[in-house]
A and B are shown apart, each in its own frame.
Chain A
Amino acid sequence: MTISRRRFILGTTVVGGGLLIGYASTRPSKHSIANRDAGEQPYLTTWLRISPDNTVTVIVPHSEMGQGILTSLPMMAADEMDADWDMVHVEQAPATDLFANGVLVKGFAESLGVSVPGFLNGVAAAGAMKIAEIMNMQITGGSSSVRFTGEQGMRVAGAAAREMLIKAAAARLDVPESELSTSLSYVRHSASGRTLSYGELASDAARFEPASAPRLKDPKDFTLMGKSIPRIDIPAKVDGTALYGIDAEAPGMLYAAVRTSPVFGNKLSSVNADVALQRRGVVKVIELDNAVAVVADNYWRAKQALAALDIRFEETANNQVTTQSIYAQYDDALLGELSKDVEEGDAAAALADAQSVVEATYRVPYLAHAAMEPMNCTVHFHDGKCDVWTGTQDNLGIRGRVAKIAEMDENDVTMHAFYLGGGFGRRLPTDTNTIDQATLIAKHFDVPVKTLWSREDDIQQDYYRPAVTSKFRGGFDANNQLIAWENHYIGKNEPAEAAHTPYAIPNKHIAYAESETHVPFGAWRSVAHSQHTFFLESFVDELAHRSGQNPYQFRLNMLADKPRHAAVLKAAAERAGWERNLAPGRAQGIALQESFGSIVAQVAEVSITEAGQVRVHRVTCAIDCGRSINPDTVASQAESGVIFGLTAALYGEITIDQGRVMQNNFTDYEMITLQDAPEIDIVTVESGEALGGMGEPATPPIAAAVANAVYILTGQRVRELPLKNYRFTAVPNESAV
């Protein structure tokens, strides 16, 4: 299929004639949603515009950060309305109330009652936020866009448009609607051979009310959904024309470089600003509460001047915190009173009666997001208004944040959308330290100011994936059956089910302790699944080996009442040739997890290098996300998720000493590159069940899959990550099954 090269326009407003299908009028009021029953008419704010030239424009209320959402969502609308894909254009919704995405809120409301997922507010106050307060959201996260906005928004909007166009054609041709059919942006009356384009019909169609519950296509009739349609954002990403927030350009723009207190929470004491002001291009030195900004006519000059300054920060008790002190605090917390997560049967009694008990303690470190595009935000205050140029996972949310910091009405703040040079949770409206600084700095000027963080700022001023400690006990009866599962862990985060294992075990006791630190934390691709799946699937593997059972068969035996999980596990094992024909010195590990509505199983094929390091050769990844909307995008998200999780498993470690992050850049916060990227083989299980997300679910299982293979090769059980900290010796392990 030929794709015209420029079909996506960022941040334009909706203008022009023709049919505009939106549902803003049916959007519930800001405060009523918490009381709405599920199953009422969809809260649609997805929009379609049909122009007289027969092009269809789909307006997408999400941000493109590489997940292909600017293609997948329009595919869903275009398919339902039988639009000609070659004539479909895409726009990102402007950040105005009219385009707030009620469908997304509804999706979360249905899946989580009225509670709000923690990634929406990131830090300790998770759950306190009322859903009504986040009505104004264009948030991109939680692997949610296709399954909520797409399934309940885009498809319905497309189907409603098709019905309106048929009504208009029936009136124009004076024939019954039942004699009309649609395809490729035309309505046809086959009996007379007459056709009318959607463009010709658009203004007539606009006179009809859009149905709130139009008839949706049967999947067998899909023309676009289920096909690997090339992504519309890719051409601009190969010729250098794709614009990210960092590329924002405005007349008279200045640049700010910032140094923030390396110890979280500590304030600025003093700075010798004069030293910077003598340098070429430097315009101003600004003291913020916990930071110093140098503003110059070029970023490099600002950065050089900043480096010349003697900046002092106050010292507090936070200066005493280390990784070790945090882990000690966690250990104490786990000995104290715990809050209940899951209680099934009587795990304590079962453990007391057990023939054998296996115990283990796992932990994982803090992690930074390290999106490739360093954090940045350009702000311009003028004439009592404000313009903001930045790439975010929620333009409406960031608009609100800037307005709050600037003490302005949010309707006076105009957001300019950009591609995101990676999101992974870092560009959510909860993680706004860069945005806040940019706003406060720009307040000093009447020209635009681009605040740009260095990579060091990015690594050291993140909202980190939390470090977690997790303790387990498992008990077997005399028949070698797993009868008890006990898990005590630190910090309940989102999603709520992250520490739950799918296996049928009669007695389960899962409980947690909160243990706050001064280290800011936030959502990191797959959120709490990223830690817990490593713990759960490693400990299950330990239990299999300790009871002399094959780790694959052991899992399968406990999935009798979870046929989808069993099918995915089998698909991964079969595709990978589980434990068959492995090259000498290699072993396989397996892991399984459901997250964000999708089930993923992975088999990692691993060896140990002469230097005692882990080498992952091949990853087989089986996925049941219900149905693939764009199969190639499903595959690319799975590949991406595997590499992201594997990077963390092999290298990822943020350590704290004297209250601050010790890592600086990619030199000591290492990334996988081409040479250590494994071959990745994707197999999808098309169950036809409800759609699951794909942005995150491939990330959780990989660490355990690799560590489980390492055990077979070395006899060493990996209970802490990252793997780079070990020097392994490959030894034949007689006990490994």
Chain B
Amino acid sequence: MARFRVNGVEQELDIEPDMPLLWALRDELGLKGTKFGCGVAACGACTVQVNGNPVRSCVTPVSAIEGSDVKTIEGLATNVGGITAVQQAWIDHQVPQCGYCQSGMIMAVSALLESNPSPSDADIDGAITNVCRCGTYPRIRRAIKSLTATA
């Protein structure tokens, strides 16, 4: 049995201990907001937060997060039906194009700003290594900057 919390809800799953968290979330729990991109932790589309830290769920076996708190894009906003400041900045700056990478991008940026509310450009470059094939990077940087300026 794999036991961990997802967006505040206790989960107990009869799955193999080496099943990556990504597939437990998507195929076992039906949480489709977390995306599969590469399977080797190279693109970040599958980024979720485990105990507040950004984690690439495609290479994280469920055995490694036993008892942990997992937060996915579906659970990012605490107010029901609402969105966070990061998500609002993504709308204000019209960041997403195809949008496929943006769940992971937003989870990574949210974790960064949580731990470092005023990141430098170097901090941002170091922390946000997710791939966006549509090339929304200039807008991502602008959106992050807009959040740090008011922080």
Contact = CB atoms under 8 A, between A and B. Distances in A.
A452 B35 CA distance: 13
B131 A666 contact: yes
Given A238-B90, A665-B38, A674-B125, A247 B32 contact: yes
A246 B90 contact: no
Nearest to B135: A643
B130 to A, nearest CB: 7
A238 B40 contact: no
Given A300-B27, A643-B137, A674-B137, A246 B91 contact: no
A373 B96 contact: no
Nearest to B31: A240
A404 interface: no
A67 B39 CA distance: 26
A370 B38 CA distance: 10
A692 B43 CA distance: 33
Nearest to B104: A372
Interface in A631-645: 632, 636, 639-644
B94 A671 contact: no
B83 interface: yes
B99 A242 contact: yes
In the complex, which of the residues A299, A300, A420, A452 has the most CB atoms of chain B within 10 Å of its own CB atom? A300
Interface in B73-87: 73-74, 76-77, 83, 87
B135 A373 contact: no
Contacts of A14: none
A421 B35 contact: yes
B94 A231 contact: yes
B111 interface: no
A373 B100 contact: yes
A234 B35 CA distance: 17
B42 A665 contact: yes
Nearest to A423: B98
A673 B37 contact: no
B43 to A, nearest CB: 5
Contact of B138 (A372, A374, A679): A679
Given A455-B38, A636-B97, A680-B138, A298 B27 contact: yes
A546 B37 CA distance: 46
Contact of A422 (B27, B32, B133): B133
B49 interface: no
A237 B99 contact: yes
A182 B80 CA distance: 39
A673 B36 contact: no
Interface string A519-534: 0000000000000000
Interface in B98-151: 98-103, 106, 124-126, 128-141
B23 interface: yes
Given A230-B91, A421-B100, A636-B139, A280 B16 contact: yes
In the complex, which of the residues A238, A243, A424, A632 has the most CB atoms of chain B within 10 Å of its own CB atom? A238
B45 A372 contact: yes
Nearest to B128: A674
B141 A642 contact: no
Contact of B141 (A237, A455, A456, A674): A674
A677 B138 contact: yes
Interface string A289-321: 000000000111100000000000000000000
For the residues of B in contact with A, the DSSP-based class is: loop
A230 B141 CA distance: 19
B33 interface: yes
B94 A255 contact: no
B43 A640 contact: no
A639 B135 contact: yes
B28 interface: yes
Contacts of A68: 97
Contacts of A246: 32, 35-36
Nearest to B102: A237
Contact of A249 (B30, B33, B37, B91): B30
A600 B88 CA distance: 32
Nearest to A681: B138
Interface in A662-685: 665-667, 671-675, 677, 679-680
A366 to B, nearest CB: 17
A540 B44 CA distance: 40
Interface in B8-49: 16, 19-20, 23, 26-28, 30, 32-40, 42-43, 45
Nearest to A459: B38
A239 B36 contact: no
Contacts of B35: 244, 246, 372-373, 421
Nearest to A376: B36
B96 A640 contact: no
A204 B113 CA distance: 56
A674 B100 contact: no
A233 B99 contact: yes
Nearest to B87: A238
Contact of B133 (A238, A255, A370): A370
A68 B96 CA distance: 10
A155 B48 CA distance: 43
A247 B34 CA distance: 10
In the complex, which of the residues A456, A641, A675 has the most CB atoms of chain B within 10 Å of its own CB atom? A675
A15 B88 CA distance: 34
A640 B95 CA distance: 11
B23 A299 contact: yes
B138 A373 contact: no
In the complex, which of the residues B33, B42, B96, B135 has the most CB atoms of chain A within 10 Å of its own CB atom? B135
A66 B137 contact: no
A305 to B, nearest CB: 12
Nearest to A242: B99
A372 B40 CA distance: 14
A667 B94 contact: no
B80 to A, nearest CB: 12
A572 B77 CA distance: 42
B74 A240 contact: yes
Nearest to B75: A240
A673 B133 contact: no
Contacts of B28: 298
Interface in A211-266: 230-231, 233-244, 246-247, 249, 255
B73 A66 contact: no
Contacts of A230: 91, 94
Given A300-B23, A373-B35, A666-B40, 8 more contacts: A234-B94, A247-B32, A371-B98, A372-B98, A373-B100, A665-B38, A671-B131, A674-B140
9 contacts: A240-B76, A243-B32, A247-B32, A374-B37, A421-B35, A422-B133, A674-B124, A674-B129, A679-B138
Interface of A: 65-68, 230-231, 233-244, 246-247, 249, 255, 280, 298-301, 370-374, 419-424, 452, 454-456, 632, 636, 639-644, 647, 665-667, 671-675, 677, 679-680
Of all A-B residue pairs in the complex, the 3 with the closest CB atoms, nearest first, are A643-B135, A240-B33, A66-B97
